[in-house]
Structure 1
């Protein structure tokens, strides 16, 4: 199947689709990423908040007390949300690069860079949180005041890396969905949702809108990653069966 690329010349869309193995792993990885968001939100609502979870950026002392009371739960929460999600994200990024590179190599290439940077930031945020929580807990018995200050500083950096501003993830989404619309490589509704979420991610740059925009971005990504997972898995299945997908 051919269509017009960014230069107006015909391109072979199916050439970018002829990788069922990569689309299979990409689809599975996208489900994993969506799952980390689901687990993260559910754990926060059903377990952490009812037990007194406090934002370390606004109430670092109370947050440190909660961390001391629930160290295992916080360790698992950070691990799933940041390390598992960050490890699965590059697989999705590279699977979509393969599928979309016929649309606009420059846009897709730049988007791929942002996607891989996003994954690195998530991994960095998770490792910082895990090492940081162990360090402040060990230090809290020696000098609680210094431990509170340290926990606030660690949490500030961790939030900056892991989602306080969703600029990098938003740029990846915008690049992917703009490229996809050129060649209809994914459903139009999925691309439209991605563009809307990308704009929500950019809105986290505005302090007054950051909290609401970040929530919209995070919750919307559950839908987006689940939908892209189903799309990639369907394409992989159709390719293996010798079918033609649109």
Structure 2
């Protein structure tokens, strides 16, 4: 399997992890308030105690699996864009790997939080709630509370795609809109909405870039 095709499959895997995450977010996890500023910590504690395995699977999929697939996609796209502009392709490469590292770190912290809170909750529910709140804040800072690293990387790839004409225009347009929505997560009043738009836009962009890389490989 070539690096280009592997990158395309990795992009589709990234989209799949986002879809899985959204599916659980709006169904089983909806009452907990994840993805909003209204998280019910006590409900999270009870859910974590009853179904820690589900939260571990969710964290592993949306963070760890996503980060590993993302790293492969970053390398694949950088290798392709480097033929047009080696310098800026290297910058995009670095930013993309930073994003993948942050996402991976967030997943590890989230899974450790599940484990530690599960052990503490039966004897000290209040302490478990405080511990989870602190660890969740760190997790959000790395991989969920804002989307700056991902937004900058997607924008860089899209701009290079436009300049080099190596990526379809529609894909670049979706990428730029997605990246701008990610940057908008810095604006507190619209942070949650911007984050949701970024997530949905990223799904579309991952699918488009994945299909492009796979088709490009078939034509090569």
TM-score by length of 1: 0.85
- After TM superposition, the structure 1 = structure 2 runs for residues 126-145 of structure 1, keeping only pairs within 5 Å, are 126-145=107-126
Cα separation, 2, equivalents of 1:216 and 1:44: 15
Is the Cα contact below 8 Å between 2:45 and 2:129 reproduced in 1? yes
Cα separation, 2, equivalents of 1:61 and 1:42: 22
Compared CA separation, residues 170 and 137, structure 1 to 2 (3 A): same
Is the Cα contact below 8 Å between 2:103 and 2:143 reproduced in 1? yes
Q: Is the aligned partner of 1:207 residue 2:188?
A: yes
Bigger radius of gyration, 1 or 2?
Answer: 1
Match of 2:66 among 85, 95, 107: 85
Aligned residue pair count: 218
- After TM superposition, the structure 1 = structure 2 runs for residues 90-101 of structure 1, keeping only pairs within 5 Å, are 90-101=71-82
Cα separation, 2, equivalents of 1:108 and 1:177: 11
Q: Which has the higher helix share?
A: 2
Alignment-derived partner of residue 164 in structure 2 = 183
Cα deviation 1:26-72 (Å, max 9, x = unaligned): 011111000000111112223332xx334496432221112112211
Cα separation, 1, equivalents of 2:90 and 2:24: 35
Alpha-carbon shift at residue 172 of structure 1 (Å): 0.4
Cα deviation 1:78-103 (Å, max 9, x = unaligned): 11111110110011101110111133
Instruction: List runs of 5+ in structure 2 lacking aligned partners.
Output: none
Is the Cα contact below 8 Å between 2:64 and 2:103 reproduced in 1? yes
TM-score by length of 2: 0.94
Instruction: List runs of 5+ in structure 1 lacking aligned partners.
Output: 1-19, 240-246
Cα separation, 2, equivalents of 1:128 and 1:206: 25
Is the Cα contact below 8 Å between 1:174 and 1:195 reproduced in 2? yes
CA RMSD across the alignment: 1.5
Is the Cα contact below 8 Å between 1:170 and 1:202 reproduced in 2? yes
Cα separation, 2, equivalents of 1:95 and 1:103: 14
